[in-house]
């Protein structure tokens, strides 16, 4: 059966903003009494150290996502190194090859779930450092994202009878 190609682009500026915003919201939801230092410590911001950690976590999550979706990806390269950290200006691209009868209606779902997977894995990594009790919840959300991605990719168009 012929393959169809779909390209998903995830914008780094949006990923970074969403991760920072979600960590801020978690911190703000915990703001009670005089625990301002604790709340501030769990919130990711644009400081170079925080941004570097976020980029490393996003890079790791992107690699894991590609590993999970390997049967839908074409080989891009045969060499690799750990010096090529994803930059804040780059975007992440997934070129997926799906069966010809793939239902393209689900592309937006696949895109949203891939975005959420990377954000949830990044937040899980972040909260492993700043609030370990929150990390498990984000790892569980990422696992659910993978299930949703696979379910959406496996949607097919119903066959149509041709006149012979």
Q: How sure is the predictor about 84, in pLDDT bands with cuts at 50, 70 and 90?
A: low
Place of tokens 């909260």: 127
CA-CA distance, 17 to 45, in Å (whole number)?
9
Pick from 85, 73, 87, 86: nearest CA to 8: 73
CA-CA distance, 38 to 11, in Å (whole number)?
30
Express each pLDDT in 34-81 by its tens digit. 666 666 777 888 888 888 999 999 999 999 999 999 999 977 655 555
Instruction: Judge whether residue 2 has pLDDT over 70.
Output: yes
Q: Is beta strand 3-11 parallel, antiparallel or unpaired with respect to 91-99?
A: antiparallel
Domain positions in the chain? 3-75+86-153
Estimate the share of the chain in helix, then strand, then coil, as percent rounded to the nearest 5: 60, 15, 25
Average pLDDT over the chain, rounded to an integer = 87
Q: Find the mean pLDDT for residues 94-110.
A: 92
Express each pLDDT in 128-145 by its tens digit. 998 888 899 999 999 999
Which carries the bigger pLDDT value, residue 113 or residue 85? 113
């Amino acid at each position: 059966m012929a393959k169809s190609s779909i390209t998903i682009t995830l914008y780094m500026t949006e990923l970074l903003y969403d991760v920072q915003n979600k960590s801020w919201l978690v911190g703000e939801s915990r703001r009670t009494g005089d625990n301002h230092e604790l709340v501030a410590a769990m919130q990711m911001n644009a400081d170079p150290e925080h941004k570097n950690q976020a980029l490393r976590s996003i890079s790791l999550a992107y690699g894991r996502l590609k590993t999970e979706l390997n049967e839908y990806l074409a080989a891009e390269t045969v060499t690799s190194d750990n010096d090529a950290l994803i930059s804040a200006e780059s975007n992440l691209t997934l070129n997926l090859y799906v069966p010809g009868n793939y239902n393209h209606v689900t592309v937006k779902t696949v895109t949203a779930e891939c975005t959420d997977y990377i954000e949830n894995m990044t937040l899980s990594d972040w909260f492993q450092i700043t609030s370990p009790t929150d990390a498990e919840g984000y790892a569980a959300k990422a696992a659910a994202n993978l299930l949703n991605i696979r379910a959406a990719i496996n949607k097919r168009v119903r066959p149509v009878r041709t006149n012979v």
